[in-house]
Chains A and B, each alone.
Chain A
Amino acid sequence: MIKVGFIVNPYAGMGGAVGLKGTDGCVREAYARGAVPMAPAKAIRFLSSLSKNDIHFLTAGREMGEHELAKVGIPYDVIYRPDEGKKSDPIQTGAIDTINACMEMIQNDTGLIIFCGGDGTARDIFSCTGQLIPILGIPAGVKIYSGVFATTPESGAHLLSDWNGTSLSDGEVMDVDEEEYRKGILNTSLFGYAKIPSGPVRCQSSKQVSFGDESREVEQIATFITEVMRDDTLYLLGAGTTTKAIADRLHLSKTILGIDAVYQGRVIGTDISEREILTLVEKFDRIKIIVSPIGAQGFILGRGNQQISCSVIRKTGVDSLIVVATEAKLRNTKTLFIDTGDPSLNNKFGDTIQVICGYRMVIRAELSH
């Protein structure tokens, strides 16, 4: 029996339907514009699709999970109750309740926390769990840029039903500036890497199911990349655990959220900014940029790594990009995206891009821009 925490952010996604591009700090405004809560219905879709019985759900009171579990008829224990607000106030819970519920779940030895919400909820949950406890998001928010979400409530249910309880991979938690976003400016940064349940790998041509070992794939990618690295080339290593594995193999330390520069087996810059990258680009003739797709949408450039700007890519050329990702990651993000901020530069990339997915192994992935 696995203990699973279940938290619903009941207001997630409300802003989207009424043009608010997010709900943080805008729940009243969303209600005023006629929005209705959407997350509870998605939470119920998730719970209704579960086919696993050996789960002990721990949840938060009322609309934060209790109502949804009760409605579907799944047994649960409430371990946190938000304060009762004024009945006339449409807002009965907030981010502090998500955090408090999450902390209670951690205290109660929860093996996994499932939440229904958006990027904001993911950030709140991750700020409590870090990498200690795996998390899985059921998408209900306006913005889903983080890589910790299932694609649909149903796929989340299937993932949990099939999960062996131990296989994990890394998912990005993205921080999106909502104020800027409402002004039409997408300003994303990487908040961190959470542990997420890794789904069973269904062999392409069979019904056979086995759990893939993602760390083995990451190791193979790192082995291959380090084999083809040249001494006359400057390498910019993007954010993420896959690129960190490359640095590990070279016995170098790497900032997991930033861009680091490596030359002749030495780190010559850590967490470097766009300006610093441009300075380096002027100094070196041969440059390769090694990146891994970020977030649920599989952005190669333009989300969470804006340091690799269009100015940088114009200097290094589109061929300087080496994309690395495990097959497990690519299964969830079949189409990759590039947004350098310059449509004409985006168009210089083809319709497909090679992604290194193992030792001397590449997948041709669709590319959108």
Chain B
Amino acid sequence: MYKYVHQHTKVYMITKILLDENEIPKQWYNIQADLITPLDPPMHPQTQKPVVPADLEPIFPKELIRQEMCQDRYINIPSEVRDIYALWRPSPLFRAHRLEKVLKTPAKIYYKYEGGSPPGSHKPNTAIPQAYYNMKEGIERIATETGAGQWGSSLAFATQLFDMECKVYMVRGSYDQKPYRKMMMQTWGATCVPSPSPDTNSGRAILAKDPNTAGSLGIAISEAVEDAATHSNTNYSLGSVLNHVCVHQTIIGQEAQKQLDMVDEKADIVIASAGGGSNCAGICFPFIKDKLDGKNPDLEVLAVEPAACPTLTRGLYAYDFGDVAGLTPLLKMFTLGHDFIPPSIHAGGLRYHGMAPLVSRLHADRLIDSTSVHQNEVFEAAVMFARAEGIIPAPEAAHAIRIAIDKALECKKTGESKTILFNNSGHGHFDLSSYEAYFAGSLIDYEYPADLIAESLKKLPVIA
């Protein structure tokens, strides 16, 4: 049954579980220290030898490179970063009583809500420290890519806090679909261009081959990396995939652990949508530590992907480039092939061919399970959630909601009262045209033809 708080004679049903500002975690959790199998090293794209810090220095600050390779279990959060986090953190943990009621499930559904940050998603959790470390090392300008615009607007927000310039290469499909994300970036002083753009060699090469391309995160990454490598005052910043990004996002899961403790709950299932993997890392990694430590051995951790881009579910675990042009180091990860341009689904933030090496490693070690869902199922869940809980979720977040609902419905069948936790990673206020398409019945359910590809054994995606 529900958790109640007794105050005098009145009984309150707890909906929001809140932490005080001084309870913002003081350290990020680094799961590299606890991996069963160590990560395979990133390889240099030309020499194919393990990357050394000096290889990354042209585009990353030293502290982030240190964090990328760090084996320490905890990394201190600078007080300046915590001060900015306090603008929206700690984020609330909600008990979805009303959704439970709609579903008539005995399951207890909790969700962490990251949509209250100024840019409206979990992305500033890493944008702030990334901008901070770059500023500390004298960098004046950051180049980055963005898919749905959540990362771009988060970095725009973060860089202006430290008086830095920001250039955002936004995947063209999203650039056209989400004009208000551009306005946010402009409001925060950043320059946003559609990718592929004529501003870089890699962008021009793609445009020459396919002028009508909707672009992809892989292409946009190539452009931003090239921008950083060719401007001396500029560094590159990535909103997902890399180890240090996953580390910064663990603040979500650490808060959620404290909040569940406050209501004497232990998660049975933790669910996160997965594109590049940082959101998944953020909510899941601290809970996986509990599983590894034997505190919660039966915990089920689920990454939810779009059926159109099922990297963990249908991809290969192999070395591949992080971008289309092959400029990034080779990362050992689940991948659909760096030349794969996913279809233009509405969860633009999940259109990425690869997966964070840390999430990939944990998936390979069976600590994270994965599943994939179609667009229409996702929006059906999003609408159900919005009608029950009020919050209109981003399509990316709604992937997790879909599976949380499915798990709660399974509990209804079995009569189990499992505790389900998912991360509602952002609001969908800039995605209402996607909802419009859903209501109009014009959403297409794309899939990845993995069986057909697998059937042709000699023609698997070419992985370097």
Verify if B176 is at the interface (C-beta below 8 Å from A). yes
Distance between Cα atoms of A111 and B449 in the complex (Å):
40
Binds B, one of A123-131, A222-230, A256-264: A222-230
- The yes or no answer to B459 lying at the interface (CB within 8 A) is yes
B437 at the interface (CB under 8 A from A): yes
Among residues 348 to 369 in chain A, which have CB atoms less than 8 Å away from a CB atom of chain B?
Answer: 354, 356-364
Interface contact B443-A204, CB-CB below 8 Å: yes
* Chain B, Cβ-Cβ closest to A208: B176
Is A203 engaged at the interface, CB distance under 8 Å to the other chain? yes
Query: Whole-angstrom distance between the alpha carbons of A13 and B340 in the complex?
Result: 48
The residue from B176, B374, B445, B452 contacting A203, defined by CB atoms under 8 A apart: B176
Contact in complex: B456, A363 (CB < 8 Å): no
What is the CB-to-nearest-CB distance from B73 to chain A, in angstroms, rounded to a whole number?
A: 40
Q: Which of A205, A210, A322, A357 is B177 in contact with, Cβ under 8 Å?
A: A205
Q: B85 at interface (Cβ–Cβ under 8 A)?
A: no
Q: Nearest CB to that of A361 among chain B residues?
A: B343
Q: Number of A interface residues, CB 8 Å?
A: 29
Q: Is the CB of B447 within 8 A of A205?
A: no
Q: Given the complex of chains A and B, what is the CA–CA distance between A41 and B461 in angstroms?
A: 55
Pair A203/B449 contact, Cβ less than 8 Å: no
B447-A227 in contact (CB<8A): no
Tell me what chain A mostly uses at the interface: helix, strand, loop, or mixed: mixed
How far is A207 from B436 in the complex, measured between Cα atoms in Å? Answer: 11
The interface residues of chain B lying within 8 Å CB-to-CB of A230 are: 455-456, 458
Tell me whether A363 and B459 are in contact (CB under 8 A): no
**A228 CB contact (under 8 Å) in B177, B340, B443, B455:** B455
Interface residues of A in 176-223 (CB under 8 A from B): 202-208, 210, 212-213, 216
CA distance A208 to B437 in the complex (A): 13
Assess A363 versus B177: contact at CB under 8 Å? Given A205-B346, A205-B437, A230-B456.
no
Q: When the two chains form their complex, are residues B433 and A206 in contact, meaning their CB atoms are under 8 A apart?
A: yes
Do the beta carbons of A228 and B446 come within 8 Å of each other? no
- Determine if A364 and B455 form an interchain contact, defined as CB atoms under 8 angstroms apart: no
Interface membership of chain A positions 104-133, coded 1 if the CB is closer than 8 angstroms to chain B and 0 otherwise: 000000000000000000000000000000
**Shortest CB distance A20–B (Å):** 35
Complex Cα–Cα for A330 and B176 (A): 23
Q: A213–B212 contact, CB under 8 A?
A: yes
The contact of A362 among B436, B449, B456, by CB within 8 Å, is: B449
A204 and B437 within 8 A (CB): yes
Main secondary structure of the interface of B (DSSP, over half): loop
| B374-A364 in contact (CB<8A) | yes
Of the listed residues B433, B443, B448, the one surrounded by the most CB atoms of chain A closer than 10 A to its CB is: B433
Residues of the A chain whose Cβ atoms lie less than 8 Å from the Cβ of B459: 227-228
Contacts of B307 in A (CB 8 A): 364
CB pair B445–A364 under 8 Å, yes or no, is yes
Q: Say how far A298's CB is from chain B's closest CB, in angstroms.
A: 15
A205 contacts B433, CB within 8 Å? Answer: yes
User: In the docked arrangement, what's the CA distance between A343 and B363, Å?
Assistant: 43
CB pair B343–A228 under 8 Å, yes or no, is: no
Q: Is the CB of B444 within 8 A of A327?
A: yes
Chain B residue at smallest Cβ distance from A366:
B445
B442 at the interface (CB under 8 A from A): yes
- In the bound assembly, the distance between CA atoms of A230 and B460 in angstroms comes to 12
8 Å CB contact of B448 from A202, A212, A213, A362: A362
Judge whether B419 is part of the interface by a CB distance below 8 angstroms: no
Contacts of A204 in B (CB 8 A): 344, 346, 434, 437, 442-444
Question: Taking the complex as formed, is B262 at the interface, i.e. its CB lies under 8 A from any CB of chain A?
Answer: no
**Complex contacts, B33 vs chain A, CB 8 Å:** none
State the CA gap A360–B458 with chains docked (Å).
15
If A327-B444, A354-B449, A360-B449 touch, whether A206 touches B177 (CB-CB below 8 Å) is: yes
Chain A nearest CB, measured from B247 CB (Å) = 32
A interface footprint on B206-217 (CB within 8 Å = 1, 0 otherwise): 000010100000
Nearest Cβ distance between residue A365 and chain B, in whole angstroms? 8
Residues of B within 8 A of A202 (CB): 442
- Chain B window 275-290, contacts with chain A (Cβ cutoff 8 Å), 1 for yes, 0 for no: 0000000000000000
Q: Are B433 and A322 in contact, CB atoms less than 8 angstroms apart?
A: no
Chain B residues near A364 (CB, 8 Å)? 307, 374, 445-447
Q: Which residues of B contact A356 (CB under 8 A)?
A: 449, 452
Which of A212, A227, A322, A362 is packed against the most chain B CB atoms within 10 Å?
A362
Which residue on B lies nearest to A227, using beta carbons? B459
Q: List 6 A-B contacts (CB under 8 A).
A: A204-B434, A204-B442, A205-B346, A356-B449, A363-B446, A364-B447
Extra contacts besides A228-B452, A362-B446 (5): CB < 8 Å: A203-B344, A205-B436, A224-B449, A330-B444, A356-B452
Q: Which residues does B use to contact A, with CB under 8 Å?
A: 173, 176-177, 210, 212, 307-308, 336-337, 340-341, 343-344, 346, 374, 431, 433-434, 436-437, 442-449, 452-453, 455-456, 458-459, 461
A interface residues, Cβ below 8 angstroms from B: 202-208, 210, 212-213, 216, 224, 227-230, 322, 327, 330, 354, 356-364
Q: Lowest 7 A-B CB distances belong to which pairs?
A: A228-B456, A364-B445, A205-B433, A362-B447, A205-B434, A204-B437, A362-B449
